[in-house]
Amino acid sequence: RMFVSNKGILNTHHWSSVWYQWILNMRGILYVREYDEEVPGRPTRLVYLFSNPAVTWMALLAIIIFLVTASLLARHRDMKFFSNRRQAYAAYVYTGAFCFFSWLSNLLPYILVDRSSFAYHYLPGLYFAEILI
Nearest to 117 by CA among 20, 4, 2, 38: 20
Kindly report the pTM of this predicted structure: 0.74
pLDDT in tens, 15-37: 677 878 888 888 777 777 787 77
Structural domain spans, the chain:
2-132
Task: Determine the Cα–Cα distance for residues 21 and 89; give it in Å rounded to an integer.
Answer: 33
Average pLDDT value over all residues in the chain: 81
Distant-in-sequence, close-in-space partners of 73: CB < 8 Å, separation ≥ 6: 82, 89, 92, 93
What DSSP state is assigned to residue 78?
T
Residue 121 or residue 65, greater confidence = 65
Task: Determine the Cα–Cα distance for residues 12 and 80; give it in Å rounded to an integer.
Answer: 56
